[in-house]
Amino acid sequence: MSKDPVCGMDVDEKTAAGKSEYKGQIYYFCSVGCKKSFDKEPERYIGKEASPHKRQ
């Protein structure tokens, strides 16, 4: 299991809705929307605790 860096949800790597590689690390996502948010601004989500499905 991995944690979606955008919403904080636990994600099964085998069934994740998406994944992205950033600076040599692979991140897994619960939804396409979370992946798109991460891909747009990865530094915003790296190393910080995210609130579950917080709308922006």
The answer to whether residue 54 sits within a structural domain is no
Distance, in Å, from the CA atom of 21 to the CA atom of 32, rounded to the nearest integer, reads 15
Q: Confirm whether 50 is domain-assigned.
A: no
The answer to whether residue 34 sits within a structural domain is yes
- 52 domain residue, yes or no: no
- pTM for the model stands at 0.79
pLDDT digits (tens, 9 = 90+) for 2-50: 999 999 999 999 999 999 999 999 999 999 999 999 999 999 998 654 4
Residue 53 domain-assigned? Answer: no
In a domain, 16, yes or no: yes
Q: Residue 19's domain spans which residues? A: 2-45
Number of domains in the chain: 1
Q: Any long-range contacts for 43-49 (C-beta under 8 Å, 24+ apart)? A: 45/5, 45/6, 46/5, 46/22, 49/8
